[in-house]
Copies of this chain bind each other. A is one copy, B any other.
Amino acid sequence: MSTETLNGVSVTTRANVYFDGRCVSHTVAFADGTKKSVGVILPATLTFNTGAPEVMECVAGSCEYKLAGSGEWLKSSAGQKFSVPGNSSFEIRVAEAYHYICHFG
Protein backbone atom coordinates (compact mmCIF):
# COMPACT_ATOMS: atom_id res chain seq x y z
CA MET A 1 0.00 0.00 0.00
CA SER A 2 1.41 3.38 -0.85
CA THR A 3 1.72 6.32 1.53
CA GLU A 4 -0.97 8.81 0.54
CA THR A 5 -0.12 11.63 2.93
CA LEU A 6 2.75 12.77 5.13
CA ASN A 7 1.31 14.23 8.32
CA GLY A 8 2.49 16.79 10.86
CA VAL A 9 5.12 18.23 8.59
CA SER A 10 6.47 21.56 7.41
CA VAL A 11 6.65 22.01 3.66
CA THR A 12 9.19 24.25 1.99
CA THR A 13 7.10 26.29 -0.41
CA ARG A 14 9.79 26.73 -3.04
CA ALA A 15 9.98 23.67 -5.29
CA ASN A 16 13.13 21.80 -6.24
CA VAL A 17 13.29 21.74 -10.03
CA TYR A 18 15.72 19.35 -11.72
CA PHE A 19 16.44 18.52 -15.35
CA ASP A 20 14.46 21.41 -16.80
CA GLY A 21 11.41 20.36 -14.82
CA ARG A 22 11.37 16.65 -15.65
CA CYS A 23 11.70 16.18 -11.89
CA VAL A 24 9.94 18.51 -9.44
CA SER A 25 9.87 17.97 -5.68
CA HIS A 26 8.99 19.75 -2.46
CA THR A 27 10.95 19.25 0.74
CA VAL A 28 9.09 18.28 3.90
CA ALA A 29 10.46 18.33 7.44
CA PHE A 30 9.14 16.35 10.39
CA ALA A 31 9.05 17.61 13.99
CA ASP A 32 12.15 15.53 14.78
CA GLY A 33 14.09 17.29 12.02
CA THR A 34 13.92 14.40 9.56
CA LYS A 35 13.62 15.59 5.99
CA LYS A 36 12.05 13.84 3.03
CA SER A 37 10.94 15.04 -0.35
CA VAL A 38 7.76 14.39 -2.29
CA GLY A 39 8.07 14.66 -6.02
CA VAL A 40 7.26 13.52 -9.48
CA ILE A 41 9.40 12.47 -12.42
CA LEU A 42 7.79 13.02 -15.81
CA PRO A 43 8.59 10.88 -18.87
CA ALA A 44 12.36 10.95 -19.26
CA THR A 45 15.52 8.94 -18.67
CA LEU A 46 17.62 10.66 -16.01
CA THR A 47 20.67 9.99 -13.85
CA PHE A 48 20.62 11.06 -10.20
CA ASN A 49 23.61 11.23 -7.89
CA THR A 50 23.18 10.56 -4.19
CA GLY A 51 24.90 12.18 -1.24
CA ALA A 52 23.18 10.44 1.64
CA PRO A 53 21.66 7.01 1.03
CA GLU A 54 18.11 7.24 -0.28
CA VAL A 55 15.02 5.10 -0.30
CA MET A 56 12.71 5.88 -3.20
CA GLU A 57 9.11 4.98 -2.43
CA CYS A 58 6.68 4.98 -5.33
CA VAL A 59 3.25 6.36 -4.43
CA ALA A 60 1.72 6.37 -7.92
CA GLY A 61 2.79 5.44 -11.44
CA SER A 62 5.96 3.47 -11.99
CA CYS A 63 9.55 3.63 -13.18
CA GLU A 64 12.43 1.45 -14.16
CA TYR A 65 15.73 2.06 -12.41
CA LYS A 66 19.29 0.82 -12.64
CA LEU A 67 21.74 1.24 -9.78
CA ALA A 68 25.35 2.20 -10.45
CA GLY A 69 27.37 -0.94 -11.17
CA SER A 70 24.29 -2.94 -12.09
CA GLY A 71 23.43 -3.92 -15.63
CA GLU A 72 19.84 -4.63 -14.74
CA TRP A 73 16.79 -2.41 -15.14
CA LEU A 74 14.23 -3.17 -12.45
CA LYS A 75 10.65 -1.97 -12.22
CA SER A 76 9.22 -0.09 -9.23
CA SER A 77 5.50 0.60 -8.96
CA ALA A 78 3.09 2.16 -6.47
CA GLY A 79 3.69 0.76 -2.99
CA GLN A 80 7.21 -0.42 -3.82
CA LYS A 81 10.56 0.97 -2.70
CA PHE A 82 14.16 0.73 -3.77
CA SER A 83 17.31 1.72 -1.94
CA VAL A 84 20.26 3.64 -3.34
CA PRO A 85 23.61 3.72 -1.50
CA GLY A 86 25.16 7.06 -0.50
CA ASN A 87 27.71 8.70 -2.80
CA SER A 88 26.44 6.69 -5.70
CA SER A 89 24.02 7.14 -8.57
CA PHE A 90 21.12 5.57 -10.33
CA GLU A 91 19.45 5.86 -13.69
CA ILE A 92 15.72 6.08 -13.88
CA ARG A 93 13.43 5.88 -16.86
CA VAL A 94 9.84 6.89 -16.69
CA ALA A 95 7.21 6.29 -19.35
CA GLU A 96 4.30 7.65 -17.33
CA ALA A 97 4.58 9.96 -14.31
CA TYR A 98 6.45 8.40 -11.36
CA HIS A 99 5.27 9.92 -8.06
CA TYR A 100 7.59 9.31 -5.14
CA ILE A 101 8.66 9.99 -1.61
CA CYS A 102 12.42 10.21 -1.19
CA HIS A 103 13.56 9.11 2.28
CA PHE A 104 17.10 10.13 3.18
CA GLY A 105 19.60 8.36 5.40
Contact = CB atoms under 8 A, between A and B. Distances in A.
Contact of A11 (B6, B14, B40, B60): B6
Contacts of A17: 40, 42, 97
A77 B42 CA distance: 27
B15 A4 contact: no
Chain A interface bracket (under 10, 10 to 19, 20 to 34, 35 or more):
20 to 34
Contact of A3 (B7, B8, B13, B60): B13
A12 B4 contact: yes
B97 A13 contact: no
Instruction: Identify the 9 closest CB pairs spanning chains A and B, nearest first.
Output: A15-B40, A24-B24, A13-B59, A21-B42, A7-B10, A14-B60, A5-B10, A14-B99, A6-B11
